[in-house]
Amino acid sequence: MPSVSSGKNFISPVSQFPRISRFRTHYTAVRGAINSNNPPVNPFAKRESHPVQAIWTYKILTVISWLLSAIVSIYYTFGKPQDGKHHRDTIWGHNSLNPTPFALNPLIASLYWLALFIFQIGYLGHLFSQNDSYVQAAAGVGSHFIVNNLLNFAFVMLFVRAHFVWSEIILIINFFNLSSLYFRHNTNPRFIHIPATSGPLAWTFVALYWNGAIAVGAHNLPARIVANIFIWGILVYGGFFLVAYKDYTIGFALSILAASLGVGQFLTKAFALQWIFAFVVMGVLFLSTLVIAVPGIFGKEISFRRDTEGAVVPADQERAPLLDDA
């Protein structure tokens, strides 16, 4: 009886069928080529260009997510949720019902968001532009911008229903999302940087204080003393971007929000230090921002470059995000 354990005499069953063998070889080669040419896609990775299919995906998702964010923000500025009787109010209704040391002035904060939405319409326009350089630059931040819109939508829906702890968690997630955008992605001209990065990031940072104070019920004297210390974090945060990145847009944004905080605190509790500190923060940020923004103050260190052919000028990361004019 012949031995079946002999390696020399063993013949693979597959090798006896040439067609199957050739098919297996061809399938393995094709699968390897597909895997090598199409590695796993990270939508948040930095890219110099995007394929047409990705551009259209960004266009569709950006419009849908922006409409969700804008519509619910505008609606709940004036209207209350109708899906419950208790603890439901408008955005600024909750702001009035919770006079914390970080309560904002509704008018100034609403104007800030109105301006931001207008800037974001401009961003959408560049995403649909005929200029490929503008389209590629806008698509470069598309994933983070879409996530920001969805998280802002979730924040508003939770906030107006008094789920302040959950809305704070959403703000924290968005803060990391926008910070990642700021530090990891390419430098962008102002028409992209303001609506997609610095404007939302400044708001999210201040909103962490605003919503967080409501979540913990910061109404007593010890809470106000702690708030008197924490408010200087706005100045430190804005000063970091002014010194390290010479980013005057985030300085202006934080100074506007500090003004909203100052007016809100003055109208909430005039005999307190919080509104005084808020206006000091606003003044220092605003003046420091002017020093960075006004051309020529620091000679050649600060310059505003324009590409003669109308294309986006490439630069080094978000290190100097506002050096390129659009």
Question: What are phi and psi for residue 324, nearest 5 degrees?
Answer: -105, 125
Q: What mean pLDDT, rounded, does the chain reach?
A: 82
Residue 48 is which amino acid? E
Q: What is the pLDDT of residues 49-95, one digit of tens each?
A: 667 888 899 999 999 999 999 999 999 999 999 887 678 999 999 99
What integer pLDDT is reported at residue 48 of this predicted model?
Answer: 62
What integer pLDDT is reported at residue 132 of this predicted model?
Answer: 86
Q: Residue 290 has which token pair?
A: 């002017």
What integer pLDDT is reported at residue 50 of this predicted model?
Answer: 65
Burial 67-93 (b: 16+ CB within 10 A, else e): ebbbebbbebbeeeeeeeeeebbbbbb
* Helices and strands (H and E) in the chain: how many: 13, 0
The helix/strand/coil state of 221 is: helix
Residue ranges in the chain modelled with pLDDT below 50: 1-7, 14, 30, 32-37, 39-40, 296-297, 303-319, 323, 325-326
Which residues does residue 50 pair with via DSSP β-bridges, in sequence order?
Answer: none
3-class SS letters over 215-257: HHCCCCHHHHHHHHHHCHHHHHHHHHHHHHCCCHHHHHHHHHH
Q: At what angle do helices 232-244 and 199-216 cross, to 10 degrees?
A: 160
Stated pTM of the model: 0.79
What integer pLDDT is reported at residue 187 of this predicted model?
Answer: 63
What integer pLDDT is reported at residue 112 of this predicted model?
Answer: 98
What integer pLDDT is reported at residue 311 of this predicted model?
Answer: 41
What integer pLDDT is reported at residue 52 of this predicted model?
Answer: 80
What integer pLDDT is reported at residue 139 of this predicted model?
Answer: 86
What integer pLDDT is reported at residue 86 of this predicted model?
Answer: 73
Query: Which of 304, 249, 20 lies closest to 112, judged by CA?
Result: 249
What integer pLDDT is reported at residue 36 of this predicted model?
Answer: 42
Query: Which of 134, 101, 117 lies closest to 277, judged by CA?
Result: 101
